[in-house]
């Protein structure tokens, strides 16, 4: 309380207890959750704190919030999510929580008043918080309304007596469970206010440690942190070629990255090499259009997709229009293994929000086909609402038998196969041919030098074209291919070393090279 103009009334106000709500403004009840959703929750789908937190952030997005503030530090003793969205009334709260079920699933084509495609499901999103904390307070006021809702949900009571929570739904729509009690009241809101503030209190131990970045196991936990950094600095850390995995960061940072990956925030500055940036500008435009900012402990949260590095790279677009689903996307391929490894795979987005993480199985692509080059690629697919029906309730997985998924999977695999071939061609075959040409030029130079020392004159250098002047360029290329297909033992040796060099650490590479040399000598 800083010094300022005196307010005489404050002297009295300071020492009085908070006004109890008038009986007419108070309300309470039970939160009941359909058994199917309880099954999802108890199966550990929300075991990651990031998965729960992103649900809350996505709820803010659906409330047309432009800015969400997330406060975790210090210590994650309480977690606060504040948005400037449309807000919630008491009646809406009660409607959402009297029975949280899949029947609350939104209209397939639902959009927010500002036209954003809806991402989350409000009841399920808030219920996910029950995995993080024992108590949640929601403070909200809706645009254009004069009421300020204050409601507290007690999740702990139900954990202490889970059996007592089972109920039979009278309408025969399956079992339902009580997940907590709520009580609240309505106050008068300031005119023109609209927001939702969520306070998660009594954070459960496992979640608190992860949110705060306190290591469970000091030996295996990463210690570098992204806390308190600008987006540009974070990009610098993510593009470091020595960073092999996000697990090298502390769990605070990993949680932050996972939330950023999932929610519809902007791409990071310089996230992709400038020579291919123009080709993905439509993706940037889509998130820009969403005008959604998340401040995570003061850091402007961005997508952690950072595709950079000094080696060669190319980008290919993906576009598919099918019977059940349409999608666009891109493949980014670079020479050598793509790090951090979390980006190696395909990330699917529906309605601008990610479905889980990058899928390293490439939607169940055959792992044996060009495995080396699979590890050199990252892809993003933005699917339309056709794929929404295939989405499981956790928003992390898709039903693989759903027609939209099957259709998209086939189209994706076809494109992926082409990209793999191209990666092999661009990054390996052509480079290999170039290298051999360089070596040949070097040999010629050495021979010329030796000949010169001995006063011998050599004939002019000849190329394949010189040897076969009647053939067109295509014939010559085929001739080159034939030449390189009949590789000598030393060439195979060299190829193996090349692959090892790109895939292994320096120490492992040396070990491998020694073992290989030993084998050849035997």
Residues near another protein (CB under 8 A): 1-8, 10-12, 14-15, 69, 71, 73-75, 80, 82, 139, 197, 199, 213, 225, 227-230, 233, 297-299
Give me the least distance between CB of 296 and another protein, in Å please: 10
Residue 128: enclosing H or E segment and its boundaries? helix 122-128
Residue 493 burial by Cβ neighbours in a 10 Å radius (0-12, 13-18, 19+): middle
Strand, helix or coil at 43?
helix
Can you tell me whether residue 240 is helix, strand or coil?
coil
Smallest gap from Cβ 90 to another protein, in A, equals 18
Which CB sits closer to another protein, 234 or 307?
234
Distances (CA, A) of 467 to 344, 457, 476, 479, 486: 45, 20, 10, 11, 19
Q: Minimum distance from CB of 232 to another protein (Å)?
A: 10
C-alpha distances in angstroms, 248 versus 153, 219, 223? Answer: 36, 12, 7
Instruction: Name the residue nearer to another protein (CB basis): 49 or 165.
Output: 49
Which is closer to another protein, CB of 193 or CB of 385?
193
> Using alpha carbons only, how large is the chain's radius of gyration in Å?
30
Choice between 3 and 515, CB closer to another protein: 3
CB closer to another protein, 296 vs 362:
296
Distance of closest approach, residue 231 Cβ to another protein, in angstroms: 10
Min dist CB 71 to another protein, Å, is 5
User: Is the CB of 2 or the CB of 103 nearer to another protein?
Assistant: 2
CA–CA distance, 135 with 200 (Å, rounded to integer): 6
Sequence-ordered list of residues with C-beta below 8 angstroms from that of 294, at least 6 positions apart, any chain: 57, 67, 68, 69, 70, 259, 260, 263, 265, 300, 301
Question: Which residue from 333, 326, 335, 305 is spatially nearest to 419, judged by alpha carbons?
Answer: 333
C-beta closer to another protein: residue 159 or 201: 201
In a 13 Å sphere around the CA of 108, the CA atoms on its Cβ side amount to: 8
- The H-or-E segment that residue 497 falls in is helix 489-503
Least distance (Å) between residue 130 CB and another protein: 22
Q: How far is the CB of 78 from another protein (least distance, A)?
A: 8
Question: Is-contact 399 405, C-beta < 8 A?
Answer: yes
């Amino acid at each position: 309380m800083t010094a300022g103009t005196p307010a005489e009334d404050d002297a009295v106000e300071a020492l009085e207890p908070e006004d109890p709500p008038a009986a007419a403004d108070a309300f309470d009840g039970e939160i009941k959750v359909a058994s199917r959703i309880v099954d999802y929750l108890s199966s550990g789908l929300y075991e990651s704190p990031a998965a729960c937190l992103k649900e809350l952030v996505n709820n803010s997005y659906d409330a047309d919030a432009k800015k969400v503030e997330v406060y975790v530090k210090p210590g994650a003793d309480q977690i606060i999510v504040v948005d400037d969205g449309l807000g919630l009334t008491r009646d809406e709260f009660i409607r959402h929580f009297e029975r949280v079920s899949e029947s609350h699933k939104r209209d397939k084509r639902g959009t927010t008043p500002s036209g954003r495609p809806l991402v989350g499901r409000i009841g399920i999103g808030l219920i996910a918080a029950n995995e993080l904390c024992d108590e949640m307070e929601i403070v909200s006021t809706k645009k254009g309304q004069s009421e300020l809702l204050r409601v507290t949900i007690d999740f702990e009571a139900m954990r202490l007596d889970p059996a007592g929570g089972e109920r039979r739904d009278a309408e025969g729509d399956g079992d339902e469970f009580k997940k907590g009690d709520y009580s609240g009241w309505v106050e008068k809101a300031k005119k023109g206010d609209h927001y939702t503030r969520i306070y998660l209190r009594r954070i459960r131990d496992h979640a608190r440690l992860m949110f705060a970045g306190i290591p469970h196991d000091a030996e295996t936990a990463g210690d570098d942190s992204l806390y308190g950094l600008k987006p540009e600095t974070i990009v610098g850390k993510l593009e470091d070629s020595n960073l092999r995995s996000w697990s090298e960061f502390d769990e605070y940072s990993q949680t932050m990255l996972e939330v950023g990956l999932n929610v519809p925030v902007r791409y990071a500055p310089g996230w992709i090499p400038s020579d291919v940036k123009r080709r993905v500008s439509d993706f940037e435009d889509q998130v820009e259009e969403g005008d959604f900012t998340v401040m995570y402990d003061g850091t402007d949260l961005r997508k952690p997709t950072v595709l950079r590095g000094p080696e060669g790279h190319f980008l290919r677009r993906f576009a598919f229009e099918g019977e059940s689903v349409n999608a666009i996307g891109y493949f980014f391929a670079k020479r050598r293994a793509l790090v951090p490894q979390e980006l190696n795979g395909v990330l699917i987005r529906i309605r601008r929000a990610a479905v889980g993480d990058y899928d390293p199985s490439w939607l169940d692509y055959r792992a044996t086909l060009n495995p080396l080059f699979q590890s050199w690629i990252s892809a993003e697919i933005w699917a339309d609402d056709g794929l929404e029906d295939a989405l499981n309730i956790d928003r992390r997985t898709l039903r693989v038998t759903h027609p939209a998924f099957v259709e998209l999977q086939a189209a994706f695999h076809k494109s992926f196969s082409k990209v793999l071939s191209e990666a092999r061609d661009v990054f390996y075959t052509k480079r290999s041919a170039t290298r051999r040409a360089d070596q040949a030029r070097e040999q010629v130079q050495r021979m010329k030098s030796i000949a010169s020392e001995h006063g011998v004159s050599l004939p002019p250098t000849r190329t394949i074209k010189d040897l076969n002047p009647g053939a067109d360029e295509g014939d010559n290329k085929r001739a080159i291919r034939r030449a390189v297909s009949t590789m000598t033992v030393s060439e195979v040796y060299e190829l193996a070393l090349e692959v090892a060099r790109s895939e292994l650490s320096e120490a492992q590479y040396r070990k491998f090279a020694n073992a290989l040399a030993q084998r050849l000598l035997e």
